């Protein structure tokens, strides 16, 4: 198969005997400014063992971040369950180097599965994104934590030091309040959904894996009259039509022309027009408010089962704003990276970068029909040896770049459906013997 390429490269990697041991605590203790986190982690031996046996991205708040958090939440420090839950939420499954943040929407399950905190199958997620070009972790109520020290390898995984403690996503009602979605709150009030006796309360609080599509728009707020005269059954059917239960629909799962099962029994339809996504005729304006039991996607108008299947207006240019921007799933050349074994044999300070560059469109006009199509993405893999304290560093190669041209087909190498389409493996042997296995799936 042409798509399946295996590239083997051998090169020297600069390495110095900084540490012979590579378990997570050993590596953590070599970093400065994270002693508070280490003290907490050491209280949970089982989590330390899990970290050393699996493949994880550990998000480590620095001392300032934890001091600020403890100051704001003094009651938590005595609550072992809460501290454990918080730690679990800082451990994301799989290795996710900072350079992959923002290439495509990325929602990664964490070890937090305790139903006192989350009802998301497979574990509550964190979003890895690029905000203002900086690698960022987005969590509950779209709180952002930026990476201050990235890509520290330990056996089996990666450590990223972050500048604030992650926010465990809270319930849907608490999220809309804290996020200041006041138009949505007013509309829910119009529909009578906020009274404690409303079935809506039970739906959004007790079900798991929900995707709620909620409008937050001044036209559909306290002055909205469109629901006047509807009975409770109709109103409930509108609410249920706006909620999907099943695999949670984060923006990473948005796809054109797909049916979304709803609690009302009638499926809604998702469309993509000009890189923006719609559910029936409603535009998704702000994406991905993580909640304790799923996600909230903000719309510009309410959904209605009576208009199921209607297409969005063909002039979406009049709409404005799209929340967490990121790359459109179609435009982003996605790369799923799995760093397998990393055995540096004492070598530290090796950073891997994987970047995508796109050439200018006008170089790639299609012959037939004069239609321009996206150029093939170019993948670059850099390895850099960091040479502090080096003795004979100058003699050793310090940087290597592999350029791997992706063939023009397929047009989209996205791995949004979980299917691996091609693979590149790079194996690096150092001198004195160092081995670094690296695998990129895309
Ligand atoms: C933590 O527990 C100790 C002993 O039970 C108690 O004296 C202290 O006030 C508690 N601290 C907080 C912040 O609740
Ligand atoms: C991490 O993800 C892999 C692949 O999806 C899964 O098999 C594994 O169980 C997950 N590990 C944990 C600890 O959730
Ligand atoms: C959930 O909270 C209850 C009450 O605080 C506690 O008794 C129970 O052990 C908790 N469950 C888990 C899985 O932590
Ligand atoms: C992000 O980086 C690109 C290229 O490096 C630059 O053109 C762009 O202005 C940057 N955006 C922001 C918000 O800093
Ligand atoms: C929701 O509506 C309120 C009131 O108009 C506005 O202040 C807020 O920015 C909106 N939030 C989002 C995410 O649309
Ligand atoms: C998870 O679901 C259970 C059962 O419906 C419920 O009791 C619990 O409060 C939910 N937890 C969260 C965090 O919403
Ligand atoms: C749907 O249309 C029917 C017939 O016009 C009407 O009776 C019903 O109230 C409408 N339902 C909603 C949710 O608007
Ligand atoms: C979305 O799907 C519809 C129907 O299959 C198609 O007409 C339209 O071109 C698609 N849009 C995009 C952006 O792929």
Mean pLDDT of the chain: 76
Class in CATH terms, 2-162: mainly beta
DSSP SS3 for 11 = coil
**In angstroms, rounded to a whole number, what is the distance separating the alpha carbons of residues 92 and 58?**
6
> In the prediction, which pLDDT does 200 show?
95
* 358 CB near ligand 4 (under 6 Å): no
Tell me, in angstroms, the distance from the centre of ligand 6 to residue 206's CA.
5
**399, burial (CB in 10 Å: exposed 0-12, middle 13-18, buried 19+):** exposed
Closest ligand, as measured to the CA of 50: 2
Q: Quick one: DSSP state of residue 294?
A: E
Tell me the pTM. Answer: 0.74
> Which among 180, 189, 214 is the best mutation to test ligand 5's pocket, defined by most ligand atoms within 8 Å of the CB?
180
Q: pLDDT of the chain along its 442 residues, tens only?
A: 333 332 222 222 323 333 335 899 999 999 999 999 999 999 999 999 999 999 999 999 999 999 999 999 999 988 999 999 999 999 999 999 999 999 999 999 999 999 999 999 999 999 999 999 999 999 999 999 999 999 999 988 999 999 999 999 999 999 999 999 999 999 999 999 999 999 999 999 999 999 999 999 999 999 999 999 999 999 999 999 999 999 999 999 999 999 999 999 999 999 999 999 999 999 999 999 999 999 999 999 999 999 998 988 754 444 433 333 333 333 333 333 333 223 333 333 333 434 333 333 333 333 333 344 444 444 444 444 433 333 444 444 333 334 444 444 444 444 445 454 444 444 443 443 343 434 343 3
**Each residue of 363-415: pLDDT tens digit?**
333 333 334 444 444 444 444 443 333 344 444 433 333 444 444 444 444 44
Closest ligand, as measured to the CA of 133: 4
Candidate CATH numbers 3.20.20.140, 2.30.180.10, 3.90.650.10, 1.20.1250.20; the one for domain 172-314: 2.30.180.10
**Each residue of 248-267: pLDDT tens digit?**
999 999 999 999 999 999 99
Tell me, in angstroms, the distance from the centre of ligand 4 to residue 45's CA.
42
* 286 CB near ligand 5 (under 6 Å): yes
* 392 CB near ligand 4 (under 6 Å): no
**In angstroms, rounded to a whole number, what is the distance separating the alpha carbons of residues 279 and 242?**
9
Which residues have C-beta atoms less than 6 Å from ligand 6? 115, 117-119, 171, 206, 292-293
Tell me, in angstroms, the distance from the centre of ligand 8 to residue 275's CA.
11
DSSP SS3 for 249 = coil
Closest ligand, as measured to the CA of 303: 7
For tokens 């709803």, name the residue: 262
Q: Quick one: DSSP state of residue 372?
A: B
> In the prediction, which pLDDT does 309 show?
87
Do residues 13 and 434 lie in contact, with contact meaning Cβ atoms separated by under 8 Å?
yes
> Which among 254, 258, 271 is the best mutation to test ligand 8's pocket, defined by most ligand atoms within 8 Å of the CB?
271
**In angstroms, rounded to a whole number, what is the distance separating the alpha carbons of residues 170 and 382?**
39
Do residues 42 and 29 lie in contact, with contact meaning Cβ atoms separated by under 8 Å?
no
> In the prediction, which pLDDT does 243 show?
98
Closest ligand, as measured to the CA of 76: 1
Q: State the DSSP string of 187-245.
A: HHHHTTTTSTTSHHHHHHHH-SSEEEEEE--GGGSTT--TTTT--HHHHHHHHHHTEEE
Neighbours of 170 (CB within 10 A): 17
**Each residue of 318-359: pLDDT tens digit?**
443 333 333 333 333 333 333 322 333 333 333 343 433 333
* 181 CB near ligand 5 (under 6 Å): yes
Whose CA is closest to atom 8 on ligand 1? 78
Angle, alpha carbons 63-29-113 (nearest 5°): 70
Tell me, in angstroms, the distance from the centre of ligand 3 to residue 117's CA.
10
Residues of the chain with CATH 2.30.180.10: 2-162, 172-314
């Amino acid at each position: 198969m042409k798509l399946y390429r295996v590239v083997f490269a051998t090169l020297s990697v600069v390495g110095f005997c900084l540490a012979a041991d590579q378990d997570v605590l050993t590596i953590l203790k070599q970093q400065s400014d994270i002693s508070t986190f280490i003290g907490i982690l050491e209280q949970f031996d089982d989590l330390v063992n899990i970290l050393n046996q699996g493949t994880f991205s550990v998000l480590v708040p620095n001392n300032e971040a934890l001091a600020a958090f403890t100051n704001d939440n003094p009651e938590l420090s005595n609550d072992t369950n809460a501290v454990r839950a918080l730690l679990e939420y800082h451990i994301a499954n799989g290795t996710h180097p900072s350079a992959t943040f923002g290439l495509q929407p990325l929602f990664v399950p964490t070890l937090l599965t305790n139903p006192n905190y989350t009802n998301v199958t497979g574990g509550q997620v964190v979003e890895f994104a690029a905000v203002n070009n900086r690698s960022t972790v987005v969590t509950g109520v779209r709180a952002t934590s930026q990476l201050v020290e990235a890509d520290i390898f330990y056996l089996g995984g990666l450590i990223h030091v972050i500048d604030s403690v992650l926010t465990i996503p809270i319930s849907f009602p608490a999220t809309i309040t804290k996020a200041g979605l006041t138009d949505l709150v007013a509309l829910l009030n119009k529909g009578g959904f906020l009274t404690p006796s409303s079935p809506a309360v039970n739906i959004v609080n007790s079900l798991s894996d929900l995707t709620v599509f909620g409008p937050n728009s001044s036209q559909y707020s306290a002055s909205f009259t469109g629901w006047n005269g509807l009975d409770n059954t109709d109103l409930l059917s509108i609410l249920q039509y706006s909620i999907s239960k099943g695999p949670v629909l984060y923006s990473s799962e948005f796809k054109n022309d797909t049916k979304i099962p709803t609690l009302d029994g009638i499926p809604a339809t998702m469309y993509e027009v000009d890189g923006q996504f719609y559910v029936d005729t409603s535009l998704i304006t702000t994406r991905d408010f993580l909640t304790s039991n799923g996600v909230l996607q903000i719309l510009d108008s309410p959904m209605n089962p009576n208009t199921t299947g209607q297409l969005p207006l063909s002039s979406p240019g009049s709409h404005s704003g799209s929340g967490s921007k990121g790359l459109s799933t179609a435009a982003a050349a996605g790369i799923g990276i799995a760093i397998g074994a990393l055995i540096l044999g004492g070598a530290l300070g090796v950073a891997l970068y994987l970047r995508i560059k796109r050439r200018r469109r006008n170089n790639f006009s299609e012959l037939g029909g004069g239609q321009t199509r996206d150029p093939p993405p170019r993948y670059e893999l850099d390895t850099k040896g960091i040479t502090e304290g080096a003795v004979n560093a100058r003699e050793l190669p310090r940087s290597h770049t592999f350029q791997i041209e992706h063939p023009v087909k397929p047009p989209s190498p996205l791995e949004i459906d979980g299917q691996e389409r091609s693979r590149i493996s790079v194996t690096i042997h150092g001198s004195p013997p160092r081995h670094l296995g690296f695998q990129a799936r895309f």
